[in-house]
Amino acid sequence: MTRHERGSAAIVADRLHKRYRRRIAVEEVSLRVEEGEIFGVLGTNGAGKTTTVEMIAGLRRPDRGRATVLGLDPTRDRASVRQVLGVQLQDAQLHGSLTVRELIGLYRGFYPDPRPADELIELVGLGEQRRTRFDKLSGGQQQRLSIALALAGRPRVVILDELTTGLDPRARRGMWRTVERLRDEGCTILLVSHAMEEVERLCDRVALLDAGRVVALDTPAGIVAKAGAEDLDEAFVALTGKQLEEAS
C-alpha cells in the first residue's frame, strides 16, 4: 500500500472555478488529497496554482465549485478550519518591528496546544535569528519564519506555497527534511512548487496545472511514464509545451 492509499480525504476540491474579469484563472479543478499524503501542485507562473490553494484555504471564494478540508468548508467553518489547517503563502506581510521569537509567540497564542517556540525556531533553522526583527531578515529567512508560523498550531493539514523560493541549497534541503518529518508525524501536506527536484523527492502524487486546468495527475514517476519522457521536467514540457524554468 502506498502512502496516499491510507483512507480518508484530507482535502477535496470539486470543480473549482475562478475568473478575474475576462481571464479564467482556475477552470474546473478537482483534486483529492488523502490523509498523510504529500501532494504536489506543479505549474509555471499564471497556471492557477496559488489561486487554487487560496480557494482551498478559504482565502478566496470560488465562483463555482467547492472545497473541503477534513470535511469542513473553509469559508463557512472558518474558525474550525483555522485550528486544523496551517497555511504558508508567498509574500508574507508581518509586523516588521517584531522579532522572530515575538512573532512565533504571538501566533502560538492562537492555538490551545501549540508547538514549543524553540522547537518551531529550530525546525526552520532560525536559531541564530530568534532576536532579529522581521524587517531585518533576508527574504529566505522571512520565508522560513512564515513556515514556522504555519506550523505553530500543530495543524493536521498544511499548505506550503513555493516552499523553498529564495533559499540557498543547504536551507532548501533542510526544509525538505522538515516536510518529511511532518509527513512522518501524520501531517497532510499540499505543496505548491515549480521545483522539479523538490517535487520528485517529496511528493506521493502531483497535479500538473496549465492555464488553470489539471493536465495530468499521478505519481511523479507515473507522469513521466505517461508522457514518454526521461524525467519530470521533460514530461512537463511534453504535456504543456512550456519550460517550467520560466517560473520564479
Residue 98 has pLDDT above 90, yes or no: yes
- pLDDT (average), residues 191-207: 92
Q: How confident is the model at residue 93 (pLDDT cuts 50, 70, 90)?
A: confident
Residue 3 has pLDDT above 80, yes or no: no
Taking a C-beta distance cutoff of 8 angstroms, is the pair 105, 114 a contact?
no
Helix or strand holding residue 196 (H, E): helix 196-202
CA diameter of the chain? 52
42 CB-contact burial (10 Å; exposed 0-12 / middle 13-18 / buried 19+): buried
Q: Is the model's pTM score more than 0.85?
A: yes
H helices of 13-99, where? 49-57, 78-84
**Nearest one of 188, 149, 155 to 33, comparing CA atoms:** 188
Its sign, for the CA torsion 217, 219, 224, 228, is: negative
**Nearest one of 88, 108, 84, 104 to 188, comparing CA atoms:** 84
pLDDT recorded at residue 1:
35
φ, ψ for residue 151, nearest 5 deg = -100, 0
Condensed to tens digits (0 to 9), the pLDDT of residues 8-33 reads: 899 999 999 999 988 999 999 999 99
Q: How confident is the model at residue 222 (pLDDT cuts 50, 70, 90)?
A: very high
Residue 210 has pLDDT above 70, yes or no: yes
